[in-house]
Amino acid sequence: MEPIEFGEFLRRTRMDKRDLGFEKMNSVEKVVSLRKITKPLLLCSMPVNYLLKVIRSIGTLDDPENKVFKNAQI
């Protein structure tokens, strides 16, 4: 995953900065893969709402639009 602007990340995920627990941060510039981080300055755990959104958006290999966990009770 190449780094993306934080605004683009919010647009793609349809999340809000407050949903991610970043409301106290002055600025967030980019979202990067953990593999690309060489000097972490701050680590935040993934909020449950975001995790559920990610899980519910998972499709199958044969049909990415087949969201197998979309209505799952997790």
Residue whose token pair is 């995790």: 51
Q: Rounded to two decimals, what is the model's pTM?
A: 0.56
pLDDT on residue 35: 84
Mean pLDDT estimate for the chain: 84
Other Cβ atoms closer than 10 A to 55: 14
Domain ranges (residues) in the chain: 4-56
Chain segment 42-68, per-residue pLDDT in tens? 777 778 888 888 899 899 999 989 999
pLDDT on residue 9: 87
> Which of the pair, 23 or 31, is modelled with greater confidence?
31
